[in-house]
Amino acid sequence: MEIPQTIKISFVILNFNREKELLHTIKKTYDLMQGKYDYEIIVVDNASADGSISAVKAAFPAVKLIERTKNIGVAGWNDGFAHAVGAYMVVLDDDSNVESGLDSAIHYMDLHDEVGVLGLNITGGAFQTDDHIDLQDYTDFIGCGAIIRKKLYDKIGGFAEWLFIYTHEWEYGLRCLDAGYKVRYYASCHIIHRTSALNRTPKRLKVFSTRNELAIVYKYFSEETRGKYMNRVILNNIKGVYKYGLHTIPWFFEAYKEFKKLKGQLVHTPVKREIEDFSGKNIGSTRPFLNIY
């Protein structure tokens, strides 16, 4: 049998101190692609200290392993994107894997050059796609399971290092749309997110998410409207007190304090007004608060 020489799909997995989950994800990916040769698996390790690197080398020597000496958060994926040779990059967490439907998703991308990011059907974890509509355009996607066109990465670069963690998908989606591509949801490709509790806490999620949402609006929305949208971000996030409890109120003050620190590093680069309007209606935190503001 002739083995194709062209790599079409690059799986890019980001890991931080989740050795067992990472090994499981790699194995599931090899199982998924059994009998195929037009792919590569790239693991970026974000300076783990748990033996992840040696475990991958021992169990899966064919994996391209990129070893970072410093944890830079979601921007670690960029090292994998830079080394990827496939036309499509399948973005995975160390604790997520493609369960089914990848062939049809790649075929869809082949037929739709306008799509820069194809968000996939996520099951498990804090962020799922239950409310998404198949083949509808969005501003963001869920980063533990998506396909990024390499040509898009070549045009706009990778994930923003200044965000560190959470909401990087919204920031990337804004730049994707501003570059003339679409972010689209594809329900027929299923991702299982096992959602390891390691390195995840509700406080960390809310502080980083709220800080980053404020920063994204400040950086990418127009001077005329960003004040309104930032107020919406604050009010819509504070609604989370009903879910997490009164003891979480200080989290939101901490998030705003962290935003103030970050604000000085940000250069205002507003997206096109139609993209801002679309995003304002599309992202939960920027929708009208209680449908009145």
Residue 139 lies in a domain: yes
Q: Are residues 149 and 23 in the same domain?
A: yes
Residue 264 lies in a domain: yes
- What's the chain's average pLDDT? 95
Q: Are residues 71 and 90 in the same domain?
A: yes
Q: Are residues 186 and 221 in the same domain?
A: no
Residue 2 lies in a domain: no
pLDDT of residue 170: 98
Q: Are residues 89 and 220 in the same domain?
A: no
Q: How many domains is the chain built from?
A: 2
CA pair distance 153, 132, nearest whole angstrom: 24
Residue 4 lies in a domain: no
**Digit-coded pLDDT (tens) for 113-156:** 999 999 999 999 778 999 999 999 999 999 999 999 999 999 99
Of residues 236, 226, 214, the one with CA closest to residue 273: 226
**Digit-coded pLDDT (tens) for 3-20:** 556 999 999 999 999 999
Residue 28 lies in a domain: yes
* Cβ-based burial of 221 (10 A; exposed 0-12, middle 13-18, buried ≥19): buried
Q: Name which residue leads in pLDDT, 80 or 289.
A: 80
Residue for token pair 């101190």: 17
Averaged pLDDT for residues 214-222 = 98
Residue 1 lies in a domain: no
Residue 230, C-beta contacts closer than 8 angstroms, at least 6 positions apart: 214, 217, 218
Confidence of residue 292 (pLDDT cuts 50, 70, 90): confident
Of the residues 171, 193, 215, the one at which a domain ends: 193
**Digit-coded pLDDT (tens) for 159-207:** 999 999 999 999 999 999 999 999 999 999 999 999 765 666 889 999 9
Q: Are residues 145 and 56 in the same domain?
A: yes
Of the residues 158, 193, 228, the one at which a domain ends: 193
The rounded Cα 180 to chain-centroid distance in angstroms is: 19
Confidence (pTM): 0.95
Range of the domain at 265: 202-291
Of residues 292, 8, 281, the one with CA closest to residue 139: 281
CA pair distance 116, 182, nearest whole angstrom: 5
Proportion of the chain above pLDDT 90, given as a percent: 89
Q: Are residues 168 and 213 in the same domain?
A: no
pLDDT of residue 4: 52
Residue 3 lies in a domain: no
Confidence of residue 109 (pLDDT cuts 50, 70, 90): very high
Q: Are residues 163 and 186 in the same domain?
A: yes
**Digit-coded pLDDT (tens) for 223-258:** 999 999 999 999 999 988 887 899 999 999 999 999
Q: Which of 189-198, 209-218, 262-271 has the lowest mean pLDDT?
A: 189-198
Q: Are residues 110 and 233 in the same domain?
A: no
Residue for token pair 């989740």: 18
Take residue 282 and report the two structure tokens written for it. Answer: 């599309």
* Residue 2 pLDDT > 50: no
Q: Are residues 71 and 155 in the same domain?
A: yes
Take residue 93 and report the two structure tokens written for it. Answer: 């967490």
Q: Are residues 148 and 221 in the same domain?
A: no
Q: Are residues 30 and 119 in the same domain?
A: yes
CA dist 262 to 21, 42, 203, 256, Å? 32, 31, 18, 10
Where residue 176 sits, what CATH number does that domain have? 3.90.550.10
Of the residues 193, 222, 240, the one at which a domain ends: 193
Nearest 5°: CA angle at 17, between 166 and 58? 130
pLDDT of residue 1: 38
Q: Are residues 211 and 173 in the same domain?
A: no
* Residue 103 pLDDT > 70: yes
User: In the 8-state DSSP scheme, what is residue 243?
Assistant: H
pLDDT of residue 51: 93
CA pair distance 94, 193, nearest whole angstrom: 9
